[in-house]
Chains A and B, each alone.
Chain A
């Protein structure tokens, strides 16, 4: 554990920096880093990353809120719908072919990335 301490500190730092700068949760970095560097299972990495994301989201949201860059009506609409969607998704998890969905999600992120760059 002690020899890996630096990995934990570095992983937290990278995920926090990207999350605060780009407004994403950091799970997209945390999960693969925890699996690859710390040898956590996918399930443990998923749950652990969510727990780390809580303080990351709170601190970052405070900084954005101080700059008046949060629309709370949108937060309520998207946040509540996300919770309902996530619970549904978690139940669907074993029925949906994750491999196909990852392919679709990968293609989606590439397409949106290009769209945002050229618009």
Chain B
């Protein structure tokens, strides 16, 4: 049963991220925590591990369409890698309870921003 829910969660997260360009982890992490009872750290770990593959596929498709600015990618990668390591390490230093709270507050901020600054038109992503 868990697998069926997990597949359904993945499908929904995938479709939303395909249309909006965001929303993979914001959908799958709370779904794992609330529906499957997965602990917050593990839900985040699963989200990141799945993202290795989905981002690779997505980036490849966009690259073929000429929509990847490689110079920007290489300028961002050093700090992105260093600080993602720091962030992932920091997550291990807090309890699941506090991590869920931080995650929930982040969701609230993102949601409010999206509701308040929702521009019209067909979008690849939020702006």
Contacts and interface: CB of A to CB of B under 8 A. Distances in A.
Interface residues on B, range: 35 or more
Interface in A5-58: 5, 8-28, 31-32, 34-36, 38, 40, 42-58
Given A23-B25, A113-B104, A48 B84 contact: no
Q: For chain B, what secondary structure do more than half of its interface residues adopt (helix, strand, loop), or is it mixed?
A: helix
Interface string A72-89: 111101111111111111
Interface residues of A, number: 100
A90 B61 contact: yes
A98 B122 contact: yes
A66 to B, nearest CB: 9
Interface of A: 1, 5, 8-28, 31-32, 34-36, 38, 40, 42-61, 63-65, 67, 69-75, 77-94, 96-99, 101-103, 105-117, 119
B106 A22 contact: yes
Contacts of B17: 82, 85-86, 89
7 contacts: A17-B86, A20-B84, A65-B49, A71-B38, A74-B46, A103-B115, A117-B101
Interface of B: 3, 6-30, 32-34, 36, 38-39, 41-59, 61-63, 65, 67-73, 75-92, 99-108, 110-115, 118-127
